[in-house]
Amino acid sequence: MLKVWYKSVIILVVAFTLCTCIDPYSPKLAGYTSLLVVDGLITDANTSCSVKLSRTFQEQNFTSYNVSDATVFLSDDAGTVNNLNYNGNGIYKTDSLLFRGTVGRTYVLHILTHEGEVYESEPCFMQSVPEIDNVYYAKDQVIINNGTQTQDGVSIYLDSKEGGANQYYRWAFNETWKFKVPDPKKFNYINDSVIIPILSAKEYCWKNKNSDNILIHSIYSGESTSILKEPIFFIAADKSDRLLLQYSILVKQYSISKKEYDFWNNLKQINESGGDIFAKQPFTVISNIHNTNNSNERVLGYFQVSAVKQKRKNISFSEILKWNLQFYRYPCERIEKEPKDYPSSFGQPPTTWDQVYSIFCITSDYYFVEPRYISGTSKLEKLIFARPECANCELTGTQKKPDFWVDLN
């Protein structure tokens, strides 16, 4: 969710540095030189919890840096203190063997910076959260480009059990999908007589992406506390390779307070405004973290505390093939060449296979992927080349199979 913080900061800065059609206007915001950004989430899951700290500045060229020298710890209403250890990239983590959030407890986040500034969160109560009943999908169509076009794809939905006193929810998800590059590199070219097969081509890989959408829901007085067909994510079938082999989504459900709901709701409105200087400005987004010595200092972000429930859904290509969707096509060009394609100048020796190879793999940034031989012979007919991203899946993914992955097809 840190991308959401940064996007909001960018909108804040840009809104006050936009140029009009006549003269540029770059006002300075009083009291705003450097803002602490806090992205923290504590749950009852049996895993390490993390807090990410960074700072951003009031500059037209927006920059930020990670805070690596702070002391970070948690305290609860039972008097227990748990330290968070620095793990790099501005991330501080709890020890999963020593700390696990407990429903019914109240937690406070404490941050002591290298400069001696002390920050604390408001006390945050860990609420229980109901189980997710079902995560499922259906063919869907959305309207895009200001209502002028439609886009076909697959929508992911969620049903949840009744939550009793729970009124406010937030969801996050993690996507994983398997993909195949169109022209995997299967051979190494030495010369026209020595072309060696590669034992393990980088053909199949997995991609992984965390959600950066703000997904929240409020239940008003008198409404049923169960949640039905809550939209989680729409996948445009022709815009990415998510659905071409197998796709998996892990949805996490949190129960949040009214104040945290308002925080996310305001942040969502800012992000959707597009940063128009005449649109609603982000002054109402209030953090629950403050500087204990300077109540006027603004802090970005929110310290989140909630129990969590999660559920995974897998989608195979064969399951959605029946819907006749227009699926994604890789923007890849398969180039097949031979010496005849490069006639030599008068009086010069003919072009060689080595020179053809050099044109694409030495002079240009292409991969040699495989040879083609004249049918029934060992005589070369063509050398086949492709762009790197079309030949090596590890350039955009990883060949390490996720621990949870089970192939459905």
Question: Which residues does 165 contact at the CB level (< 8 Å), separation at least 6?
Answer: none
- Residue 44 carries which side chain, given as an amino acid letter? D
Provide block-wise average pLDDT over 10 residues at a time, the chain (409 residues).
Answer: 52 40 44 82 95 81 82 97 96 95 97 95 95 97 90 97 86 98 97 95 97 91 82 97 98 95 89 55 73 91 95 97 96 96 88 96 95 95 97 97 93
User: Which strands form 380-386's sheet, in the order they lie side by side?
Assistant: 335-337, 380-386, 367-373
Residue 330 lies in a domain: no
Residue 358 lies in a domain: yes
Phi, psi of 386, deg, nearest 5: -150, 160
Whether residues 101 and 83 share a domain: the answer is yes
Whether residues 230 and 297 share a domain: the answer is no
Whether residues 208 and 266 share a domain: the answer is no
pLDDT value of position 273: 63
Residue 377 lies in a domain: yes
Whether residues 64 and 31 share a domain: the answer is yes
Residue 147 lies in a domain: yes
Whether residues 9 and 120 share a domain: the answer is yes
Residue 77 lies in a domain: yes
pTM of the model: 0.86
Whether residues 108 and 85 share a domain: the answer is yes
Whether residues 7 and 119 share a domain: the answer is yes
Whether residues 144 and 234 share a domain: the answer is yes
Number of domains into which the chain is organized? 3
Whether residues 65 and 46 share a domain: the answer is yes
Question: Residue holding tokens 């053909």?
Answer: 203
Whether residues 14 and 83 share a domain: the answer is yes
Residue numbers of the domain that contains 155: 132-179+204-249+316-323
Residue 199 lies in a domain: no
Whether residues 162 and 243 share a domain: the answer is yes
Residue 399 lies in a domain: no
pLDDT value of position 31: 55
pLDDT value of position 220: 80
Residue 81 lies in a domain: yes
Whether residues 38 and 108 share a domain: the answer is yes
Could you give the CA distance from residue 77 to residue 68 in angstroms, rounded to a whole number?
28
Q: Which of 84, 12, 97, 106 is nearest to 47 (CA)?
A: 97
